[in-house]
C-alpha cells in the first residue's frame, strides 16, 4: 500500500497508457480460445482417442436439454411366497418405491426384479396416477420365471430381441437368467442405446457355482456390447451386477482398459460421498452392486454434477437397493 501512495499522477497516467498499448497490440503468440466444453466432462483424454472424428461438442449433442435416467432394483415387484401364501409386493413397500421414483422424476426408468407384464403395467399406472407418465415400455426376461428387467420411457423406444442368449456350463446349455435388455431411444442429444443386465445373485446354489454363472452371464453381456459398438457409438450399460468393482464379472463387462470399446464406469456417490447401493441385512454388509457404464463417445454426454446415488431414509421399505440417477445431454 505504501508504494501505491508514492505514485505521482504523471506516473499513474504513463502506466495507464502502457497497459492500453499492450492490450491493443496484435498477439500472434496468444493461444486460441479453448472450446466451450461442458464443465461436467470428466474425460481428460484426447477426443481422437475414441476413434471418432474430433468435432466441436455443440455439433454432435444438444446441451440445452437434459434427460434423467434412473436405474433401480425395485425388489420383487411381483407375486411370490410371502409367509404362507402367494402375495404381491406389500403396499407399504410400493408406496415408498413410488415416492422414491417421484422424487427423481425420471424421463427413463430402468428396473430390475419386476414380474409379469401385468406387474409392469401396474407400476406404470401408479406412476401415471401421480403425474409421472412413462408410456413406452419394454419387458425382458430369461430363464428366471419370476424376476425380469424392464424399461419405462417418456420417449418412444425400439427394442431388440435378446431372449435366446445362451452359454455352456458343465457341458449343458444355460439361458441367461434375466436376459439382456436392449433398446434404442432417440433422445434430444441423439440416438442412445440402453443395455440392462441383472446378473446371477450371490445366493449359493447346490447345482452350480454362482460366481461362475455370473461370470458367464457377464461375458455374454460383453459380447453383446461389442456387437452394438460396431454400429452404435453412444451406449449405456446398466443394472444390478451382483458383484464388486474389481470382480471378474464386472471387469468383463467393462472390457479392456484403454481400448476403443472400453466402457467407463460412472463413479457415482450419494450426498455424503458414499458409493454403496445394496444393503444385505442378514450379513450386515453394504456393497456397490448397481452400476452404469458408458461408451467412450457417451462420456461427454453425461452431466456428472447432476448424477448421483439417491439417498434413502433407513425406514424406507421400497428396496434393499439404492437407485442411480444419471443426467444425460
Domain total of the chain: 1
Query: How do beta strands 190-198 and 235-240 pair?
Result: parallel
Answer whether 68's CB lies under 8 Å from 106's CB. yes
Please report whether residue 15 resides in a domain. Answer: no
DSSP category for residue 300: G
**Which residues lie closer than 8 Å to 42 by C-beta, 6 or more apart?**
299, 302, 304
Tens-digit pLDDT string for the chain (329 aa): 434 344 444 444 444 443 433 333 333 333 333 222 222 333 333 222 223 333 232 334 556 789 999 999 999 999 998 888 999 999 999 999 999 999 999 999 999 999 999 999 999 999 999 999 999 999 999 999 999 999 999 999 999 988 678 898 888 888 899 999 999 999 999 999 999 999 999 888 888 899 999 999 999 999 999 999 999 999 999 999 999 999 999 999 999 998 999 999 999 999 999 999 999 988 899 999 999 999 999 999 999 999 999 999 999 999 999 999 999 99
Answer whether 294's CB lies under 8 Å from 264's CB. yes
Q: How far apart are CA 20 and CA 16, in angstroms?
A: 6
Please report whether residue 239 resides in a domain. Answer: yes
Answer whether 213's CB lies under 8 Å from 243's CB. no
Its pTM surpasses 0.85: no
260 lies in which domain range?
65-328
Please report whether residue 264 resides in a domain. Answer: yes
Say which CATH number the domain at 231 has.
3.60.10.10
Answer whether 323's CB lies under 8 Å from 310's CB. yes
H or E, element range at 196? strand 190-198
Q: Is the dihedral of CA 156, 228, 181, 240 positive or negative?
A: negative
Please report whether residue 287 resides in a domain. Answer: yes
User: All 3 cell numbers of residue 45?
Assistant: 483424454
Please report whether residue 159 resides in a domain. Answer: yes
Amino acid at each position: 500500500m505504501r508504494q501505491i501512495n508514492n505514485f505521482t499522477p504523471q506516473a499513474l497516467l504513463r502506466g495507464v497508457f502502457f497497459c492500453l498499448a499492450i492490450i491493443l497490440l496484435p498477439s500472434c503468440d496468444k493461444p486460441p480460445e479453448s472450446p466451450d466444453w461442458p464443465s461436467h466432462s470428466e474425460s481428460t483424454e484426447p477426443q481422437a482417442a475414441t476413434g471418432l472424428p474430433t468435432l466441436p461438442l455443440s455439433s454432435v449433442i444438444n446441451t440445452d436439454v437434459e434427460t434423467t435416467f434412473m436405474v433401480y432394483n425395485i425388489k420383487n415387484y411381483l407375486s411370490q411366497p410371502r409367509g404362507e401364501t402367494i402375495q404381491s409386493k406389500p403396499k407399504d413397500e410400493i408406496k415408498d418405491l413410488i415416492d422414491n421414483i417421484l422424487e427423481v422424476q425420471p424421463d427413463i426408468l430402468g428396473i430390475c426384479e419386476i414380474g409379469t407384464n401385468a406387474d409392469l403395467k401396474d407400476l406404470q399406472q401408479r406412476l401415471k396416477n401421480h403425474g409421472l407418465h412413462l408410456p413406452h415400455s419394454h419387458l425382458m426376461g430369461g430363464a428366471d420365471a419370476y424376476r425380469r428387467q424392464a424399461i419405462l420411457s417418456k420417449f418412444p423406444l425400439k427394442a431388440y430381441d435378446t431372449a435366446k442368449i445362451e452359454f455352456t456350463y458343465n457341458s449343458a446349455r444355460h439361458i441367461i437368467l434375466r436376459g439382456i435388455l436392449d433398446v434404442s431411444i432417440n433422445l434430444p442429444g441423439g440416438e442412445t442405446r440402453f443395455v440392462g443386465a441383472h446378473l446371477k445373485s450371490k445366493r449359493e446354489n447346490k447345482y452350480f457355482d454362482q460366481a461362475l454363472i455370473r461370470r458367464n452371464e457377464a461375458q455374454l453381456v460383453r459380447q453383446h456390447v461389442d456387437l452394438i459398438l460396431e454400429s452404435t457409438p453412444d451406449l449405456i450399460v446398466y443394472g444390478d451386477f451382483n458383484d464388486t468393482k474389481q470382480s471378474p464379472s464386472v471387469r468383463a463387462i467393462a472390457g479392456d482398459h484403454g481400448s476403443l470399446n472400453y466402457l467407463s464406469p460412472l463413479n457415482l456417490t450419494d450426498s455424503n460421498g458414499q458409493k454403496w447401493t445394496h444393503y444385505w441385512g442378514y450379513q450386515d454388509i453394504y456393497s456397490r452392486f448397481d452400476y452404469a457404464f458408458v461408451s467412450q463417445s457417451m462420456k461427454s454426454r453425461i452431466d456428472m454434477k447432476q448424477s448421483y446415488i439417491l439417498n434413502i431414509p433407513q425406514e424406507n421399505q421400497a428396496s434393499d437397493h439404492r437407485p442411480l440417477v444419471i443426467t444425460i445431454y
